[in-house]
Amino acid sequence: MITRTKLSAIAVAAALLVTIAGCSGGGGGGSSTSPQGNLPNIAAQKKLGAGEGKLNIIVWAGYAEDGADDPTVDWVTPFEKQTGCQVNAKTAGTSDEMVQLMRTGQYDGVSASGDATLRLIYGGDVAPVNTSLVPNYATISDFLKMKAWNSAGGKMYGIPHGWGANVLMYNPAVVTTAPDSWSAVFDKNSPYAGKITAYDSPIYIADAALYLKATDPSLGIKDPYSLTEKQLNAAVALLKTQNANVGEYWSDYTKEVEAFESGSSVIGTTWQVIANLVQSDGKAQVKTVVPKEGVTGWSDTWMIAAKAKHPNCMYQWMDWITSAKVNAQVAEWFGEAPAQTKSCAETSDPAFCDTYHATDAAYAANIHYWTTPQTACVDGSGKTDCTAYSEWTTKWQQIKG
Amino acid sequence: MAADQGVAKRGPVSAFFATRPKTRLGLLLAPPLLWLVVAYLGSIVVLLITAFWSVNGFTGAVVPTFQLGNIVSVFSEPLYREVTLRTIVVALSVTVVDAVIAFPMAFYMAKIASPRTRAFFLVAVTTPLWASYLVKAYAWRVLLEPNGPIDIITGGHSPGYGLPATVITLAYLWLPYMIIPMFAGFDRVPSSLIEASADLGASTGRTVRSIILPLVFPAVAAGSIFTFSLSLGDYIAVTIVGGKTQLLANLIYGQLVTANNQPLAAALSIVPLIAIILYLLAMRRTGALESI
């Protein structure tokens, strides 16, 4: 009996110790409790030194290929040879994972999408970029520079990498009249009920908001990522109606490819790369369209950690990945529009940039890029009555029921 | 004689421990205890404590101040109630389906098959465990697709993607975990009892009801602990074949990874923890814990 008491005392003590360790670890990781508006004062690097021989980066799958997936697809090895920086690339699955990994402080940089960038900037995890140290920055498409999702306080917080739109894909064998509106997936009485697909992420609420912006002006939606409680509820109501007609949601792109090829989905939101994969497999015909209400999309930016241990290698990487040839290789491998204008001359498919509208500023301007919804509205209005991403997540779970 | 030799050859380390039985026991038990207490119980304690914290809405940093909001919302929010109920129904259905399929198979393997066929069946039942989870789940996705094999065989009556498909896939995935304990359970039932029952004029049904079921039930219960708890925590199969439905683990994953709301995710994971503890307590009454 005595030993048992002793044992449990030890257990409790050990558990407390672990808890305390957990507390201090968590506190150290995200001690910045600054609300938006308090931009951490971090200076950009002044000049470039010699490489440090190592580079640790967080990437989307396919952004740092070293020939392991396909021997012909390799832009990491030449970089290592040229700069002497050994690349250690960590693939992350979601923007949220990227934010968490960056907070460990073990990485020099990240290829962040717009729904992660602001969290990193205001969390003090990344530093502004001295663009004059990145020669290739000059020829990057102008419509990607100094945007709300990659700059703050008049400073660029990264080097744009590539972008793409979430377009409407349909199977013309079933959807015989070509749709020109998102109503094809939001209409309650859709003839394609049960075969509609939608993107499985809270950020998809913005797609519904974008549709409501055009179809229900009384709601007064201006920016699909800056929704008041009332506007968010309207978008959620629309998505709940849509849920009755949805066959399945997708977030893994191979699942959507399979769904369209097998016919279990015939219409829904997609990325261009998915449509290309379905077409090249040849099992089903699909077409994509940019609906008249506009589209959401993503724009990725290479950012440098505020406390990078290998900053010079990171600068060299940012210049390398946006050089004409490499940016073309990445864009073709991943299926997105390259940020580098000169890349269009380097793609193996001469029509590549036309397919992805890479240099089409008007097309790019119609895209509402993913950004993290916050209580302080992200539309630049200065209002603070918007709904935050955490609320969107809870609502998204309610939509799926 | 042998003991003398042992003493003669004892090195300084052995000599040190020979006279200190408490130190010896302490060092022997320290690694497993450390593992159990720190890594296992410790992480559960951290989980329980985190459930009472909150999160900074913008930066996503965990704020360690005590509050009950997460626990309250887990038990008051209708969505969580509904999904919990759905998850438990799925876990129980998977368990029942597995038990029904495993019963005749385990019986055949233990009581009828020759030793060679028995070995063959044991290998056949456990081989799928070597294949990747994802491969098996995607295989079911292909089987269940519109105009897919099941659609053709049943004349267009495939259940399609949804909850039934999830139950089928999970039942397939966890079937070996039910068959093996049941096989062991049947193996322990003396064949003489079954023969005696028949000799005394009992029908097959009566023998199954009065002899086999009571003796095998602890084994069924043991297998059901695996199928129930594995189904309760699954969130991958449902995203592959579940259509648009979601289970409890999807909500936890969404709150943890997508929303970056660790405290709410921790509060939500208390629900399956309670469900499994209740299930284990119920199973203990049947004596199943002795047959694992």
Q: What b/e sequence results for B81-106 when a residue is b if at least 16 CB atoms lie within 10 Å of its CB, and e otherwise? A: eebbebbbebbbbbbebbbeebbebb
Chain B nearest-CA distance from A264, in A, is: 6
**Cβ distance A109 to A60 under 8 Å?**
no
* Residue B58: predicted pLDDT: 63
**Cβ distance A174 to A340 under 8 Å?**
no
Taking only residues 268 to 287 of chain A, the set having a beta carbon closer than 8 angstroms to any beta carbon of chain B reads: none
Q: Report the SS3 class of residue A4.
A: helix
- Strand residues in chain B grouped as ranges (E): 54-55, 62-63
Please give the structure tokens belonging to residue A109: 């940089």
* Residue A224: predicted pLDDT: 94
DSSP string covering A45-97: P-S-----SEEEEEE-TTSS-BSSS-TT-BSHHHHHHHH--EEEEEE-SSHHH
Q: What distance in Å separates the CA atoms of residue B158 and residue A204, rounded to the nearest whole number? A: 30
Taking only residues 123 to 162 of chain B, the set having a beta carbon closer than 8 angstroms to any beta carbon of chain A reads: 141-142, 145-148, 160-161
Q: What distance in Å separates the CA atoms of residue A92 and residue A16, rounded to the nearest whole number? A: 32
Q: What distance in Å separates the CA atoms of residue A42 and residue B212, rounded to the nearest whole number? A: 74
Q: Is B52 exposed, middle or buried (0-12, 13-18, 19+ CB in 10 A)?
A: middle
* Residue B95: predicted pLDDT: 96
Q: B69 in contact with A at a CB cutoff of 8 Å?
A: no
Q: What distance in Å separates the CA atoms of residue A114 and residue A166, rounded to the nearest whole number? A: 14
**Cβ distance B70 to B54 under 8 Å?**
yes
Asked if the Cβ–Cβ distance from A400 to B82 is below 8 Å, we say no
Contacts of A29 in chain B (CB under 8 A): 61
Q: Is A114 exposed, middle or buried (0-12, 13-18, 19+ CB in 10 A)?
A: buried
What is the longest distance spanned by two Cα atoms in chain B? Answer: 81
Q: Which candidate from A243, A258, A388 shows the least CB-CB separation from B58?
A: A388
**Cβ distance A165 to A294 under 8 Å?**
no
Contacts of A15 in chain B (CB under 8 A): 37-38, 41-42, 45-46
Q: What is the mean pLDDT of each run of 10 residues along chain A (401 residues)?
A: 45 43 34 52 89 93 83 91 94 80 92 88 92 94 89 92 92 93 93 92 93 94 93 96 93 86 92 82 90 91 95 96 94 88 91 87 85 83 86 91 85
Question: Count of alpha carbons within 13 Å of B154, Cβ hemisphere only?
Answer: 14
Chain A nearest-CA distance from B87, in A, is: 12
Interface confidence, given as ipTM, is 0.77
**Cβ distance A314 to A308 under 8 Å?**
yes
Question: Count of alpha carbons within 13 Å of A239, Cβ hemisphere only?
Answer: 30
- Tell me the average pLDDT of chain A: 86
Q: What distance in Å separates the CA atoms of residue B246 and residue A397, rounded to the nearest whole number? A: 8
| A&B contacts, CB < 8 Å | 131
**Cβ distance A278 to A132 under 8 Å?**
no
* Residue B60: predicted pLDDT: 65
* Residue B9: predicted pLDDT: 67
- The 3-state DSSP composition of chain B as helix, strand, coil percent (nearest 5) reads 80, 0, 20
Asked if the Cβ–Cβ distance from A397 to B79 is below 8 Å, we say yes
* Residue B255: predicted pLDDT: 86
Containing B217, the helix (H) or strand (E) segment is helix B213-232
Please give the structure tokens belonging to residue A172: 């013309």
User: Residues B193-225: pLDDT tens digits?
Assistant: 989 998 999 998 999 898 898 889 889 999 999
All residue ranges of chain B with pLDDT < 70 are: 1-9, 57-60, 288, 290-292
Residue whose C-alpha is closest to residue A197's, from A173, A217, A170: A170
* Residue A37: predicted pLDDT: 54
Q: What distance in Å separates the CA atoms of residue B109 and residue B183, rounded to the nearest whole number? A: 7
Looking only at the bridges linking them, the beta strands covering A159-170 and A337-338 are antiparallel
**Cβ distance B156 to B149 under 8 Å?**
no
